[in-house]
Structure 1
């Protein structure tokens, strides 16, 4: 016997965006015929879609500004360093980036800067563009048409683990987000002021992977939405923290137990999708929306 329940994943989504297209109702199937008698629930995650590209632009910018506020709360700020980029839904050959030397905790949607592939702002702005940030994100968006958003900051644990020039190990369930989906850029070429260094980072990421550890530098993650890229960044930062703690314990004689290949692959397949990662960021976005009163939406 099976019972079909019609539901939407984000009926209670708190978002002030205008023109948001409501997700198409999904079919969540509760199957009582499974061998163990446990009801199986599927199709609970839905990424909003839009018919109006201008409405999509506004929604994505608001989530980008929200990501900066979340990153500020989590301590991922480092002076003028760090950036998130967003491919423009209206003009996909251009992207939005945060203003240079503005604290993540102050960024608003209206502060974001739309630049073309040469770094020229396409709308009036009182802010400057971070040259290193532009070089990294311009090369990435050009090399990876599938990437709509990318996050890079000098977070504390990611920066510390990057000194080893090694990937993380599959130490826990959340590390499996990165199973066969994490690169290491081993050739630190100094602060990214040159086009070549940005291209080298994009090459290190490769044609399909979504995350890269930049040796002696930090972390970079990307995704189809800002939400996915931000969720991956937070997860990778936590994975680096776990790795550092595990290494310290191992140095004192504690033996690490690494998740097996088959188990890691299965966990990645089930929990590492764009929809799950989008949902991973949803609670953070909604909490920062409540805590700030939504001032970053301006």
Structure 2
């Protein structure tokens, strides 16, 4: 009689690896971590085509000097940026660490959002094609897919000045329009997202851009069927927090750091 193969024993769940946001022993360690994540996010934005000329920024609050923010240098392609290229800039837009200029016009928006939202660690605003197309319509995202429900009643449309923002009052108006939301559609300009980490802010921007693409494509093809209010709210509760965004972002981070490890230098 042939022995029957035994069913493999399951590995205990506490022995399985599951990546979560790390805890840091010192501000120095957390600063290095945030700068590495910022450089990686900028590389990804470059890979996805979210830049045009000198436009586009991601900023991250310094863990020790919380009224200062790390940002990409003016005029440097996203695809070339390393951690050592990043600038530390104060709320007035003055460079306090680094060797390059900062885009003052764009930084007004970021500084205003950071000041209005102490809970926000990172802000992303850049030039994605579908985000700008949706912004040109002045329309919000609609709950027509599971992924977009993360933004259901958690984003707004700002219809103020559509030119280059150089005025602090305009920056404060944008921050006020964002309010407590995770995202804002700037009419005729594009998308802005925030998060409690670089990873979360970057993920919200990437998935919001994709949601804009889906909405534009669906409406060009016919009449989308919306998800009902209750289901949209429940889906947002499941998918719409920054921890879920951080987890979703990790495959992208692993991909870019393995493909382009020089960004960590």
TM-score by length of 1: 0.83
Please give the residue correspondences for 1:112-261 in structure 2 after superposition, counting only pairs within 5 Å. Answer: 112-123=86-97, 125-206=98-179, 208-250=180-222, 255-261=223-229
Could you give the per-residue CA deviations for residues 75-132 of structure 1, whole angstroms, max 9, x where no partner exists?
1121100000000001111111110111000111111111111122112x32111011
How many residues align? The count is: 254
- 2:27 maps to 1:9: no
Give the deviation of 1:155 after TM superposition.
0.4
Aligned to 2:246: 278
CA distance in 2, matches of 1:52, 1:9: 23
State the 4+ residue runs in structure 1 displaced beyond 6 angstroms: none
Question: Are 1:85 and 1:95, in contact at CA under 8 Å, matched by a contact in 2?
Answer: yes
Could you say what secondary structure the match of 1:96 adopts?
strand
Gaps of 5+ in 1: 11-45
Could you say what secondary structure the match of 1:190 adopts?
coil
Aligned to 1:80: 54
CA distance in 2, matches of 1:49, 1:215: 38
Aligned to 1:92: 66
Give the deviation of 1:189 after TM superposition.
4.2
Could you give the per-residue CA deviations for residues 227-254 of structure 1, whole angstroms, max 9, x where no partner exists?
000000001000110111111112xxxx
Could you say what secondary structure the match of 2:124 adopts?
strand
Question: Are 1:100 and 1:129, in contact at CA under 8 Å, matched by a contact in 2?
Answer: yes
CA distance in 1, matches of 2:47, 2:130: 15
TM-score by length of 2: 0.93
CA distance in 1, matches of 2:188, 2:51: 17
Question: Are 1:114 and 1:121, in contact at CA under 8 Å, matched by a contact in 2?
Answer: yes
CA distance in 2, matches of 1:118, 1:76: 26
Q: Which has the higher contact order (CA 8 A, sep 6+)?
A: 2
Give the deviation of 1:200 after TM superposition.
1.1
Give RMSD over aligned pairs: 1.3
CA distance in 1, matches of 2:220, 2:235: 26
CA distance in 2, matches of 1:224, 1:185: 22
Aligned to 2:6: none
